[in-house]
Chain A
């Protein structure tokens, strides 16, 4: 995995590079916005980590120009400023995810990996996590090499959860995604689907956690 890291603070850039290299990734560091713009145009990375506060042009501008070129490279934004405003703006500009400094290393790694996965998903139609694989085009799920039977609704729920690995989603969000416009469903129905899915994917190393009163989070067991 080739990562382009755009960060001007030496200590932080160096630290991130060490960490990601420990996971087998190749990390190139760029220290200002204008250089980043040039480097990103070469288009040979799979994920970009971009700090917002940069000399030259700022991180937002780098992303804007990237997207303006039609480049869909997954971007993780790092911010030192007020998280909420930066996030909203960053996502509007075209960023895919964000992290507020300072962050925990496992969090950084998880998000970079998730972005990498997402990037590849748009090329292939498969989502893979531990022992579970989803073939989106044919709507088939394979657990530990064996195909599993899923109803239309169950598939919808599982696909959505798989597309949001390590992210908390509410039951209402799931409902909104899997239902055609105009139909209604109670949150209880979602509970039923999730419990059925859990049975079917047991032992794949993928677990669906319940966030009491709120929703679910799908993640790999003990990464």
Chain B
């Protein structure tokens, strides 16, 4: 299970911020409710305060002058029921509701005390006021049910909830967006790497100025540089070796051919010389193939080097050489060339054509026929090479492209031809198909090049 930087960032940003946000919400609630409750309590206390002027002493006993209408005014409240009581410290109710719950007697003079209680089966808020009339203490209690408080509380909570919801959405959204934008350079690098063709070793674009990513890209490019230098060295080495071998091989071949003519009467000597000549030919072919392989390597190939080339002209260039080869096996070599413009590299295309035709001739029987054609169809350049050889069985059609894979070990050849072809096809972003020749017997190889303008 891979960890994700994005998810990690989101987790570390959003969760704590949400927690902080919730704490803030709690505080806001508190800040909204406390003054509200205080105001309600003040209002309730005022009812108690209002009673004090009505108190008097009669026969040294607390009494109150509270006509009924006055009492009714006191109990007016739109939402809640108001209860009150005036009591002596002994518990005698001077006025108000008898069933007013017992009041604490430790409040300071003139300082209302508010607390919650229960009256007549409902929750109420009680305010107690300790007063003195003359020398006598008296306790005034006012209580109200909590309906308007509940309503106020719910309203606060409701507004707060909506606000929190919106803020949360904005918060999460902004963070999400911000992180997405912040991680954009990473995405760009990923896309660039994904878009690369296989083995491409060119440096990554680094116009990224971010302190975090830029050094990583630089390090990556340095690595690519080292790998490319290694691949370059390998290619150069291959090419140098191949070139160095050609002159000695030419010397061997020329001398051996001369020698063979010299011993013309001696069958065995001629035979020996022929074998040696064949071997030098094989060595020469291997050398050429090594060179072609080095040239065609996709990690070396730079796509910018493609230019507009006439495929038919490239094939024409190799006609001379293959007519001679075909003659040896009395093969009927034919061409159907139409002007076909493609984007390509001249060397590589030449190697491609050479290897395909060479393969066809090699695997054709004596007096067989090989046909090479090229045309433009639907904007694409198409090259077809057909022979009348044994054909390539369907199971082997993928394998033949592997280096040194031989269907028939005894047939002369290096096993590299089609591997080279495949590399070149890839360099040109073309496609190759192996199928059966028309007529049922033989192999038909088709190379499809991507379309070009012109």
Measuring CB to CB, which residues of chain A are less than 8 angstroms from any residue of chain B?
9-12, 14-16, 18-19, 22, 51, 53, 78, 80-82, 84-85, 100-105, 107-108, 167-168, 170, 209, 211-215, 217
Q: Which 9 A-B pairs have the closest CB atoms?
A: A212-B334, A11-B251, A15-B254, A12-B251, A101-B250, A102-B250, A80-B246, A213-B335, A15-B255
Whether A214 and B335, one on each chain, are in contact in the complex, defined by CB atoms closer than 8 angstroms, is yes
Which one of B133-141, B315-323, B388-396 contacts A? B315-323
Whether A84 and B346, one on each chain, are in contact in the complex, defined by CB atoms closer than 8 angstroms, is yes
Whether B371 and A213, one on each chain, are in contact in the complex, defined by CB atoms closer than 8 angstroms, is yes
Within 8 Å CB of B243, what residues of A?
80-81
Secondary structure of the B side of the interface? helix
Whether A85 and B347, one on each chain, are in contact in the complex, defined by CB atoms closer than 8 angstroms, is yes
| Bound CA span A85–B243, Å | 14
Q: Is B125's CB within 8 Å of the partner chain A?
A: no
User: Interface 1/0s, chain B 71-103, versus A by CB < 8 A?
Assistant: 000000000000000000000000000000000
Q: Which of B247, B320, B337, B371 contacts A9, CB < 8 Å?
A: B247
Q: Which of B258, B319, B333, B371 contacts A15, CB < 8 Å?
A: B258
Can you name 15 A-B pairs with beta carbons within 8 Å? Answer: A15-B251, A15-B258, A18-B258, A81-B243, A82-B291, A82-B347, A101-B246, A102-B254, A102-B281, A167-B320, A170-B316, A211-B335, A212-B332, A212-B371, A214-B319
Q: Is B444's CB within 8 Å of the partner chain A?
A: no
Within 8 Å CB of B333, what residues of A?
211-212
Q: Which of A100, A209, A214 contacts B334, CB < 8 Å?
A: A214
Chain B interface, number of residues (Cβ within 8 angstroms): 35
Please, which residue of chain A has its CB at the minimum distance from the CB of B255?
Answer: A15
Whether B320 and A168, one on each chain, are in contact in the complex, defined by CB atoms closer than 8 angstroms, is yes
Whether A105 and B258, one on each chain, are in contact in the complex, defined by CB atoms closer than 8 angstroms, is yes
Within 8 Å CB of A108, what residues of B?
254
Other CB < 8 Å A-B pairs besides A81-B243, A168-B320, 5 of them?
A12-B248, A18-B255, A102-B246, A102-B280, A105-B253
| Bound CA span A14–B248, Å | 12
Q: Is B336's CB within 8 Å of the partner chain A?
A: yes
| Bound CA span A78–B253, Å | 14
Q: Which of B249, B258, B336, B350 contacts A102, CB < 8 Å?
A: B249
Whether A212 and B335, one on each chain, are in contact in the complex, defined by CB atoms closer than 8 angstroms, is yes
| Bound CA span A11–B259, Å | 13
| Bound CA span A193–B247, Å | 43
Whether A168 and B247, one on each chain, are in contact in the complex, defined by CB atoms closer than 8 angstroms, is no
Within 8 Å CB of B261, what residues of A?
22
| Bound CA span A117–B249, Å | 29
Please, which residue of chain B has its CB at the minimum distance from the CB of A173?
Answer: B316
Q: Is B252's CB within 8 Å of the partner chain A?
A: yes
Whether A168 and B323, one on each chain, are in contact in the complex, defined by CB atoms closer than 8 angstroms, is yes
The answer to whether A102 and B334 touch (CB under 8 A), given A19-B258, A84-B347, is no
Within 8 Å CB of A214, what residues of B?
316, 319, 334-335, 337
| Bound CA span A170–B261, Å | 35
Please, which residue of chain A has its CB at the minimum distance from the CB of B249?
Answer: A102
Within 8 Å CB of B254, what residues of A?
12, 15-16, 18-19, 102-103, 105, 108
| Bound CA span A67–B50, Å | 131
Within 8 Å CB of A85, what residues of B?
347
The answer to whether A213 and B334 touch (CB under 8 A), given A80-B247, A81-B243, is yes
Whether A84 and B350, one on each chain, are in contact in the complex, defined by CB atoms closer than 8 angstroms, is yes
Q: Is B257's CB within 8 Å of the partner chain A?
A: yes
Chain B proximity of A83: nearest CB distance (Å): 8
| Bound CA span A19–B334, Å | 33
User: Interface 1/0s, chain B 217-254, versus A by CB < 8 A?
Assistant: 00000000000000000000000000100111111111
Within 8 Å CB of A105, what residues of B?
253-254, 257-258
Within 8 Å CB of A211, what residues of B?
319, 323, 333-335
Within 8 Å CB of B371, what residues of A?
212-213
| Bound CA span A85–B320, Å | 17
Please, which residue of chain B has its CB at the minimum distance from the CB of A215?
Answer: B319
User: Interface 1/0s, chain B 296-335, versus A by CB < 8 A?
Assistant: 0000000000000000000011011001100000001111
User: Interface 1/0s, chain B 272-311, versus A by CB < 8 A?
Assistant: 0000000011001000000100000000000000000000
**Residue of A14, A81, A85, A105 contacting most chain B CB atoms (<10 Å):** A105
**Residue of B248, B250, B257, B334 contacting most chain A CB atoms (<10 Å):** B250
Q: Which of A12, A22, A84, A213 contacts B247, CB < 8 Å?
A: A12
Please, which residue of chain B has its CB at the minimum distance from the CB of A107?
Answer: B324
Please, which residue of chain B has its CB at the minimum distance from the CB of A10?
Answer: B251
| Bound CA span A168–B320, Å | 5
Please, which residue of chain B has its CB at the minimum distance from the CB of A101?
Answer: B250
Whether B335 and A11, one on each chain, are in contact in the complex, defined by CB atoms closer than 8 angstroms, is no
Whether B347 and A217, one on each chain, are in contact in the complex, defined by CB atoms closer than 8 angstroms, is no
Chain B proximity of A172: nearest CB distance (Å): 9
Please, which residue of chain A has its CB at the minimum distance from the CB of B315?
Answer: A214
Please, which residue of chain A has its CB at the minimum distance from the CB of B254?
Answer: A15
Chain B proximity of A185: nearest CB distance (Å): 17
The answer to whether A103 and B335 touch (CB under 8 A), given A22-B258, A80-B243, is no
| Bound CA span A51–B284, Å | 18
Whether B251 and A9, one on each chain, are in contact in the complex, defined by CB atoms closer than 8 angstroms, is yes
Within 8 Å CB of B246, what residues of A?
80, 100-102
